Amino acid sequence: MIFRQLFDPQSSTYTYLLADPGSREALLIDPVFEQVRRDAALIDELVLKLKWTLETHVHADHVTGAWLLREKLGSRIALSKAGGADGADKYLEPQEKISFGKRSLETRATPGHTHTHLSFIVDDGGKQAVFSGGSLLYGSVGRTDIPFADWGTLVQSIRSLVDRFPPETIVYSGHGPETTLGAELERNPFLDELRVS
C-alpha cells in the first residue's frame, strides 16, 4: 500500500494518504484546508486518483479541505452520518467499508471526543492500523471539555479498539507520532481505568 503521513504545522494536525498501488486509487483522511495545494501536488506527483476524502470528526482545530479537493480532483466526501453535516457524497455508518482499488478500510464509531467521531481500520497484508483522529493519541486522548464530548463514552470507545484489535495494531492519530494499541494501554496515563478493569 502507498502511504504518506502529512503534517500541518499551523494546526499541529496530521492528514493521511493511502493508495492502492495497482489501481492508483487513493483516499485522504482528515485533509486540511490550508494544505489542499500540497495534497493535490503530491497526488499528482505519485500519479494517483483521489477517490475519497474521509473525516474522523468535525474539527475545531482545523477546517477541512475536502470540498476544495472535490472541486479540484473530483474526489468524493465521506463523513459520519450521525454528524448531520450537509454536502457530503456519502454518510458513513459504523462497520461500513470504503474501497480504494483492491483495498478497503472499515469505519468504527469511536465517540467521546465528539459524539459523531469515527476511526478507520485498514489491514495491509495482515498488519492492522487504526486512524484514530482525535480519540486515542500518543500518550493522551482527545479533549472531553468541549460541547458534546463525554469522558465515559471516550473510554468505552477506546476499550472497544483495545478489545477488538491486537496490541501491535498501529495507531495513527490526528495529533502526535504513531504508536500502538499495546503501548498506549501500557503507558498512557489516561487509560488507567482500562488497565484495572
Count Cβ neighbours within 10 Å for each residue of 123-145 and write b for 16 or more, e otherwise.
eeeeebbbbbbbbbbbeebbbbe
Domain ranges of the chain: 2-196
By DSSP bridging, strand 25-29 and strand 13-19 are antiparallel
Local structure of 123: helix, strand or coil:
strand
Q: Facing residues of 103 across strands?
A: 100
Nearest to 121 by CA among 150, 95, 159, 146: 95
The predicted pLDDT at position 166 comes to 95
Query: What is the helix (H) or strand (E) element at residue 77, kind and residue range?
Result: strand 76-80
CATH class of 2-196: alpha beta
C-alpha cell at 5: 503521513
Task: Read off φ and ψ for residue 44, nearest 5 degrees.
Answer: -65, -45
The more confident residue out of 197 and 158 is 158
Q: What is the pLDDT of residue 74?
A: 97
Across the range 41-53, mean pLDDT stands at: 98
The C-alpha cell that represents 33 in the structure block = 484546508
What residue type is 68 in one-letter code? L
In this prediction, residue 196 has a pLDDT band, given cuts at 50, 70 and 90, of low
* pLDDT beyond 90 at 85: no
Strand (E) or helix (H) holding 53? strand 49-54
